[in-house]
Chain A
Amino acid sequence: MRGNVVIAGVGQTAFGKCPGRTTLSLNIEACRNALADAGVEKEAVDALVVKPPTSNPEFMYGSTLAEAMGLQPRVGGSWDQGGAANISLISFAAMAIEHGQCEIALVTYADNPRTGSRHVYEKAWGDDAAYGWFGVPAGYAMLARRHMEEYGTTSDQLGEIAVAIRNHGAANPNAQLRVPLTLEQYRQSKWVVDPLRRDDCCLVSDGAAAVVLMSAKRAKQMGIRKAVPILGFGQGQTSWEVPLRTDLTSTGAEVSGATALRMAGLTPKDIDVAQIYDCFTITVLMTLEAYGFARKGKSGPFVAGGRLAHGGELPTNTAGGLLSETGMPGLQLVLEGVRQMRGEATLQVKNAQTCMVSNQGGIMHTHSTLILGQWQ
């Protein structure tokens, strides 16, 4: 089904602080903007799928949102997979369209941990709290330490990732954080949980984003000129608890990326621009080698020397990702992938024909991959 389904429109809210806004309101604004971008009437939507708000999950959120939007879609509901859910929902919606279960799908996500509650990100890990084991950053730090000790990955190499992405964010007028970063500043950044510094960690953000999917055939009939075809997708998962992983430096990103590349008929060499989930810098480093851009353990040297910067060999997170654009999990990376394929990005990569996008959740527990291409 390579290329049979397209992203016909994208929409978002402002990123950063959205005080007093409910996630329903944020979702609706993003959907309204995505429908307007696609030139699609709300009445034509027959699928609405949503990732539940991370910081305040609600019972049957997908149905609550559909009601607030006056929709009774054929395909609807929410999918709980942490930060991997958005691309997974795009892939499920694409398959539903391909098989005649629905025709036009909205995939949307909103959250407001910045002005609302962020308790979910600082929780204890069950009984292990007795040992002082708390918080999401520590889980990623545990993976980072093993990678550093096993493969010689350095703090400066993690810093190179932060520098490239933060500088991209500084160029994005819609980014929440528009402050560039130097390696020297990175080195001065305070520990959050050693070996991760403050500048290794993503933002906490309010906001929403949405995409409209339909078949390529329907997009042609409707005369949609800015449609972006979906070339491939995949998913993968590793064990839930960090201590229970046989190999701390291997994740479901390997099978997810391989599945997506096989479907697209591409290899990592064919990818022109990447949007890699950067909740923490170590996530980018490990995802790049899992996808095959570098050999296992060699991602540290790979990201050095500005390779991920705009103008580098693999421009990555060209709108600033989770480190700068918005900390909301995942859809902003898909939106930037769409802008790159349309030729509308602020930091446009010249002649970019393909974009690989990653989403992931938990402590690199869930993973999903999307490959976008050019409209013929």
Chain B
Amino acid sequence: MSAAPEQAFPLPDTTGIGAHYWNALREGRLDYQCCSRCHSAWLPARTECPKCLAAEWTWKIASGKATLISWVIYHHAYHPWFAKKLPYNVSVVQLAEGPRLISNVVAAGTTLRIDMPLQLIIEREADVALARFKPA
């Protein structure tokens, strides 16, 4: 029996410019974009460099080292999929290479604090590879 549509995992859009990012996670890498002209680095995926507007860029592999910028704890599920996870955290994480992303810190029993060092862990959920982090 398949789950009702409203209980389905909210799948990210793995087509278009973001396809490479999600495929890389599936292959065990967290890739970010780096401008060929001004060398600025960014996520999420875009067609032009948001700093110098160049359309020439390459994908690079992140080291997986990161720091915790901020986090919140949900006590109410805005989507049925997350009801079983309550309470759960959503965090802003900064990669050592610069780009920032929304993620979850997997740290049962650890007190979170801003600027704490984190390490990438790639976890599968509903057959999607997600970039999560644990205390380093």
Contact in complex: B102, A124 (CB < 8 Å) = no
Partner of B102, one of A125, A135, A145, A149: A125
Residues of chain B lying within 8 A (CB to CB) of residue A145: 70-72, 114
- Complex: A287 Cα to B44 Cα, angstroms: 28
Count of chain B residues with a beta carbon within 8 Å of a chain A beta carbon: 35
Contact in complex: A192, B76 (CB < 8 Å) = yes
Partner of A138, one of B9, B72, B100: B72
Residues of chain B lying within 8 A (CB to CB) of residue A125: 102
Within 8 A of A (CB), among B63-95: 69-76, 78-79, 82, 85, 87-88, 90, 92-93
**Known contacts A138-B90, A194-B72; is A131 also within 8 Å of B78 by CB?**
no
Residues of chain A lying within 8 A (CB to CB) of residue B37: none
Stretch at the interface among B11-19, B27-35, B53-61: B11-19
- Complex: A133 Cα to B69 Cα, angstroms: 15
Closest partner residue, chain A, to B71 (CB atom): A145
Contact in complex: B72, A142 (CB < 8 Å) = yes
Main secondary structure of the interface of A (DSSP, over half): helix
- Complex: A364 Cα to B80 Cα, angstroms: 28
Contact in complex: B72, A134 (CB < 8 Å) = no
Type the 1/0 row for A99-143, where 1 means its CB is closer than 8 Å to any CB of B.
000000000000000000000001011111111111100100111
Contact in complex: B72, A129 (CB < 8 Å) = no
Contact in complex: B92, A142 (CB < 8 Å) = yes
**Known contacts A138-B90, A146-B114, A193-B75; is A130 also within 8 Å of B69 by CB?**
no
- Complex: A190 Cα to B74 Cα, angstroms: 12
Closest partner residue, chain B, to A127 (CB atom): B12
Q: Does B122 contact A (CB under 8 A)?
A: no
Residues of chain A lying within 8 A (CB to CB) of residue B69: 146, 243, 248
Closest partner residue, chain A, to B132 (CB atom): A131
Q: Does B113 contact A (CB under 8 A)?
A: yes
Closest partner residue, chain A, to B86 (CB atom): A132
Q: Does B101 contact A (CB under 8 A)?
A: yes
- Complex: A126 Cα to B92 Cα, angstroms: 15
Contact in complex: B70, A130 (CB < 8 Å) = no
**Known contacts A133-B90, A142-B70, A248-B70; is A128 also within 8 Å of B102 by CB?**
yes
Contact in complex: B76, A131 (CB < 8 Å) = no
Contact in complex: B113, A149 (CB < 8 Å) = yes
Q: Give chain B's interface residues, CB within 8 Å of chain A.
A: 9-13, 18, 44, 69-76, 78-79, 82, 85, 87-88, 90, 92-93, 100-104, 113-114, 125, 128, 130, 132
Q: List 25 A-B contacts (CB under 8 A).
A: A126-B44, A128-B90, A128-B102, A129-B12, A130-B130, A131-B90, A131-B104, A131-B132, A132-B85, A133-B90, A138-B90, A141-B72, A142-B72, A143-B70, A145-B72, A149-B70, A149-B114, A190-B75, A191-B75, A191-B76, A192-B75, A194-B72, A243-B69, A243-B92, A243-B93
14 more CB-based (< 8 A) A-B contacts, given A129-B12, A130-B10, A142-B92: A124-B10, A125-B102, A127-B12, A127-B18, A129-B79, A130-B130, A132-B74, A132-B90, A142-B71, A143-B70, A145-B71, A149-B70, A195-B72, A243-B69
